[in-house]
Amino acid sequence: MEVAILPTPADCGRVVADVLAATVTGRSAGHRPTLGLATGSSPVLAYRELIRRHREEGLSFAGVRAFLLDEYVGLPPGHPESYRAVIRRELTSSVDFVDSDVDAPDGSAPDPLVAAREYEERLRQGGPVAVQLLGIGANGHIGFNEPGSSLSSVTRVKTLTEQTRRDNARFFERPEDVPRHVITQGLGTISRAQHLLLTATGARKAAAVAAAVEGPLTASCPASVLQLHPHATVVVDEAAAAMLERADYYRYTLQHKLPHQPY
């Protein structure tokens, strides 16, 4: 696992954008790269940077496919806080992504259990995901795999913890509007991606980042599953890195990266 500690959230956004852009531009002829996109606040600066590069530097997402990590259950289609609507607003409608090339679990399906199984199947057919972008919850969740999630879980319905509902209440009119259930890629599903790219900023994430990177591999910290992955990168600002014991080593490693050594 590589841990990149950068001075500011804007720097994190640029590095995350670099990795996603390299996947998109480095594709071989006839190959359609597949990105795994996250929602929430963590990826927003990276998405803004990608939009800037699209507008000013001609970065094109034509032909790229994307899968979202998760979706709320029970929001009506088109609800502004459904993750399908969020990703359109934050990224895909501002670049040349084709809407039908962006897939997400159907949180408004009559049977969410079936919708979860169908999404897992579409991920198996459409995968592997080249780069899966991840945020991290203050309790160590990735996707909406709350603590206790099996490290080899697949896409399924999960119940949000009250802490996660409170954390996400800022996006809704009233705290009670935050859905209780979600469909999320499982930790096993996420781990099938070729590259896991987790980003976190701010002091509120410091304990979760330290547990994920340096704590034990445990379902109690779902993000610790990154320790099992052959290609995982964690991009954090100084505040989110504050509780990392090996921070000096991570900084040293970054300073001495070989020329052209990718993340």
Examine residue 41 and tell whether it contacts ligand F6R (CB under 6 A): yes
Choose, by CB under 6 A, the member of 3, 53, 54, 70 that binds ligand F6R: 70
**Angle at CA of residue 66, ends 64 and 72, nearest 5°:** 160
Q: How far apart are CA 30 and CA 235, in angstroms?
A: 31
| Cβ nearer to ligand F6R, comparing 14 with 27 | 14
Choose, by CB under 6 A, the member of 135, 179, 186, 222 that binds ligand F6R: 135
Examine residue 38 and tell whether it contacts ligand F6R (CB under 6 A): yes
Stretch binding ligand F6R (CB under 6 A), from 27-35, 50-58, 97-105, 131-139 = 131-139
Which residues are marked as active site? 70, 139, 141, 146
Q: Which of 195, 185, 198, 196 is nearest to 152 (CA)?
A: 185
* Nearest distance from C-beta of residue 42 to ligand F6R, angstroms: 3
Examine residue 143 and tell whether it contacts ligand F6R (CB under 6 A): yes
SS3 182: strand
Examine residue 141 and tell whether it contacts ligand F6R (CB under 6 A): yes
Tell me the residue number closest to ligand F6R, measured at CB. 135
DSSP string over 21-84? HHHHHTPPTT---EEEE--SSTTHHHHHHHHHHHHHH----TT-EEEESEEESSPPTT-TTSHH
Examine residue 140 and tell whether it contacts ligand F6R (CB under 6 A): no
SS3 29: coil
Examine residue 153 and tell whether it contacts ligand F6R (CB under 6 A): no
* Nearest distance from C-beta of residue 19 to ligand F6R, angstroms: 16
| Cβ nearer to ligand F6R, comparing 63 with 138 | 138
Number of residues in the chain: 263
SS3 104: coil
**Angle at CA of residue 147, ends 193 and 108, nearest 5°:** 70
H helix intervals, 204-246: 206-214
Examine residue 69 and tell whether it contacts ligand F6R (CB under 6 A): yes
Footprint of ligand F6R on this chain (CB under 6 A)? 38-42, 69-70, 83, 135-137, 141-144
